[in-house]
Chains A and B, each alone.
Chain A
Amino acid sequence: MSTIITPELVDLDLPSADRAAATRALAQRLADAGRVTDVEGFLADVAAREEQMPTGLEGGIGIPHARSPHVAVPTLAFGRSAAGVDFGASDGPAHLVFLIAAPASGDADHMTILATLARRLVHASFRETLLAAEDPEVAAAFITQEVGS
């Protein structure tokens, strides 16, 4: 569990009905992996954050995220949607969705991993590689390598 993401936490065919469905699918994966202790509680925290301001960003990405007491370890779930999921970005739906989960009281070292991930997200090459990744193993390995954890 030392890596920020594993192949089990990747969903290359994300439910695309709306952002709640997409987020729930990814959160469930985190819970199944034992990284989130309470799916409903965590989703409520994510929704609260999403209420403040939609997390969709230009370039087709959505980054629902929260710091939550229901998170055991800083972690990430990654989903891809060919149809796109609306995350409120001005230029259209998100094709890449990163659900970022941080413990409420994580120490700075752990947070640094998430910070590194966030920094990678703005690079077009990072996004393009993930759009092209053919299976979850490749995607997870690529993210892990990029984040350097």
Chain B
Amino acid sequence: MRLVAVTSCPTGIAHTYMAAEALSEAAKAAGHEMEVETQGAAGATPLDPAVIAAADAVVFAADVEVRDRDRFAGKPLVTAGVKDGINRAPELIAQAVQQAEAAPSGSTATEPVPAAATTEQHAGFGTQLRGWLMTGVSYMIPFVAAGGILIALAFVIGGAEISTKVDGGVFEGTEYPGIPNLSDVLGEAGVAGLMYAIGSTAFSMLVPILAGFIAYAMADRLGLVPGIVAGLLAVEIGAGFLGGLAGGLLAGAVVLAMKRVNVPRALEGITPIVLIPLLSTLIVGAVMIVVIGEPIASAQTALTDWLDGLSGTNSVLLGLLLGAMMAVDMGGPVNKVAYTFGLASLASGELTIMAAVMAAGMTPPLACALATVLRPKLFTDVERKAGETAWLLGASFITEGAIPFAAADPARVIPPLVAGSATAGGLSMAFGATSRAPHGGIWVVGVIGSPLLYIVAILAGVAVGTVGILALKAQRGPVEADPEVAAVEPAAAPVAHRAAAAH
């Protein structure tokens, strides 16, 4: 395997070269070729762009910003401090190899950024932000794929009642007690129940992994704890993936700031091990709960009251509105209000609202999937792979299938998806389609009233969403390489109704 590395340190006379030597030796020992660029006081001889282009993975062992890091955009990347380059060189090499192997085959062959372009492109904040988000998304996608497909298959095998059987609740007039002891799930709900339980668990990690690895991309390993905790809290307070995204960015920023603080010598040793994890987690957690959680809860109450006031007025308008809400945050607070509203209507025997909500929740992943097929060049490799799974997830009313797309590029993805879902919701109401099932998507078409028109509504929503995404993305132009994604096996995308549905 061919590897490249950059080493740098504050003074540039010792660690830079020690790390370079240690990495070279470790690479050689493991049977790989490696070239190292030492950005030190003896001057840096930049790596030949051809060498970078041919490299399978990149290692940064650096305590100061790597110069011209855009040259390495799109390569599987391992970042570490310069001391790790010295003390743990074989481990870093192994990680780089692992990432190269996990990376989509396309990314290793990405075209090098022409040398002339590197100076101008010097990572603006937008590029950096995109890189952070993509790192989080790429780590999240396998969870989306594993969890989403398991849940979808559970519905296919077990029917629409499978989630109610496992979680408890009322379905079609039958009350299920739920399965409090998970080890009974196979006996009580069968293989489908087992798959649903496993899939739900994988799904519950979506937002924590997204938030954790956004923070990791920003602040390295120290970012993981506050990031993951922020994600868990985002789920807990119902803030959804947008809350997780904000929490991850906040966690990364807090840790970065703390790393810059000069601490007294006596505390130096425990700073990275105890002080930063402790304080950053406390601060980020408090912000999530107090600053974000409180307003979300009251806003949800207000939204619900408002919706209650609207029911009985113009039903198409209500469908448009609920549809838009489903796509705004895909599993977040607004989605949850809309979904809960659908559930409540279902319980009171009003079946059209549930149908509209479900149509609107199916649209986003389908629109994303279709967009990746129509204009693949507008998407990164990771996104295209996510698109493949998004078909199944959308069809199964697992809105989370669109999260990888929305998290990676919110401004260009969310508005079109909202428009598409509003279309689907409005049309579903206009057609008077009904649903007796609270989830299951296309697999519960048997309990849908006016199924053909219902599918028309969904397809129309998909068309609106797809066209909108393509139009906005085309404005930006095709993506080149993914900005330094810490690459992982890209896979799929799941959805949101689980978070919405379960409560």
Contacts and interface: CB of A to CB of B under 8 A. Distances in A.
A13 interface: no
B10 A53 contact: yes
Given A53-B10, A122-B21, A122-B22, A115 B40 contact: yes
Interface stretch (A25-33, A100-108, A134-142): A100-108
Contact of B42 (A55, A108, A121, A123): A108
B376 to A, nearest CB: 45
A115 B43 CA distance: 10
Given A67-B41, A115-B40, A52 B268 contact: no
A34 to B, nearest CB: 20
Contacts of B63: 53
Contacts of A146: none
11 contacts: A58-B86, A63-B14, A67-B11, A67-B41, A106-B41, A111-B40, A118-B18, A121-B14, A122-B18, A122-B22, A123-B21
A49 B87 contact: no
Contacts of B25: 122-123
A53 B83 contact: yes
Contact of A57 (B83, B265, B269): B83
Contacts of B269: 88
Given A67-B13, A111-B13, A118-B17, A51 B42 contact: no
Contact of B13 (A54, A90, A114): A114
Nearest to A86: B269
Contacts of A123: 21, 25
A55 B22 contact: no
A114 B14 contact: yes
Interface of A: 49, 51-55, 57-58, 63, 65-67, 88, 90, 100, 102, 106, 108, 111-112, 114-116, 118-123
A88 B268 contact: yes
Give the size range of B's interface with the partner. Answer: 20 to 34
Contact of B16 (A53, A57, A118, A120): A118
Interface of B: 10-18, 20-22, 25, 38, 40-43, 63, 83, 86-87, 262, 265, 268-269
A55 B262 CA distance: 16
Contact of B265 (A51, A55, A112, A122): A51
Contacts of B14: 55, 63, 65, 100, 114, 118, 121
B80 to A, nearest CB: 14
Contacts of A116: 17
A49 B63 CA distance: 13
A120 B212 CA distance: 38
A57 B89 CA distance: 13
A66 B42 contact: no
Given A106-B41, A111-B41, A118 B83 contact: no
Given A55-B15, A100-B13, 10 more contacts: A49-B11, A51-B262, A51-B265, A57-B87, A67-B11, A88-B268, A88-B269, A108-B41, A111-B40, A115-B38
Given A57-B86, A58-B87, A115 B42 contact: yes
A128 to B, nearest CB: 16
A75 B262 CA distance: 29
Contacts of A51: 262, 265
Contacts of A54: 268
A118 B13 contact: yes
A118 B18 CA distance: 5
A67 B41 CA distance: 9
Contacts of A118: 13-18, 21
A65 B16 CA distance: 13
Given A53-B83, A106-B41, A115 B13 contact: yes
A51 B267 CA distance: 11
